[in-house]
Amino acid sequence: MILFTGIIALLIIAFYLAMNTANVYVLLSDGMKLRTSVILTREDANELSNFFTDDFLARDETLLIGLSNQSPYIDYDIVAFNHSVSLEWMWSWPWEDVAQATIVEEVPRIVGSVITEKRDQIREGGLSANPPEWYKAQYRVYLQRVNGQWKIAGLERTMIFPKPSPSPSPTPAR
């Protein structure tokens, strides 16, 4: 009977771990994509509170810069971007309201053009015709369950991956 109870307890814990992992993965994918979208396009910032705690939103430096006049994307009209988040590690006990995860976020492609008022700066060399690239980075993510819903409570960038440089093509031998 004790063995049976132990097995049932392990199955219940495994079920809740799997459920938390799935919920957190969806939250991280959708939340980080929305955060990136807000930074790139400066739209729909109100929706961020569905994914992030209010305390985090008030102190997120990247978001605050992205919404300010100091944003590197302020001179661009961003029409599309590719975004990916890969979950490398996640842990949360089923009975706790906090969790940690490690993710890698990447935006390999940003499609946009310089806004009309700034096009003269391209010719003068003060502005690139293409939007700045988004760095690929690894984050430690702190999550908190608020009213039964997981939210991102903190992001700590742990690594920035260098942009791969193209290797020269081999010259054919004659």
Q: DSSP of 106-146, one letter per residue?
A: EEEEEEEEE-GGGTHHHHTTSS-SSPPPPPEEEEEEEEEEE
Q: Higher model confidence: residue 46 or residue 92? A: 46
Q: Is the pLDDT of residue 171 over 80?
A: no
Domain ranges of the chain: 2-161
Out of 1-5, 67-71, 118-122, least confident range = 118-122
| Mean pLDDT to the nearest integer, 98-107 | 96
Sequence length of the chain is 174
Q: Is the pLDDT of residue 174 over 80?
A: no
Q: Higher model confidence: residue 109 or residue 126? A: 109
> For residue range 59-102, what is the model confidence (pLDDT) as tens digits?
999 999 999 999 999 999 999 999 999 999 998 887 889 999 99
| Mean pLDDT to the nearest integer, 164-172 | 68
pLDDT attached to residue 144: 96
Contacts of residue 149, Cβ cutoff 8 Å, sequence gap at least 6: none
| Mean pLDDT to the nearest integer, 18-32 | 89
Out of 25-34, 103-112, 162-171, least confident range = 162-171
Pick the CATH number of 2-161 from 3.50.50.60, 3.40.50.300, 3.10.450.540, 3.40.630.40: 3.10.450.540
pLDDT attached to residue 167: 67
| Chain-centroid distance, C-alpha 134 | 11
Question: How far apart, in whole angstroms, are the C-alpha atoms of residue 1 and residue 151?
Answer: 39
Question: How far apart, in whole angstroms, are the C-alpha atoms of residue 148 and residue 97?
Answer: 9
pLDDT attached to residue 172: 67
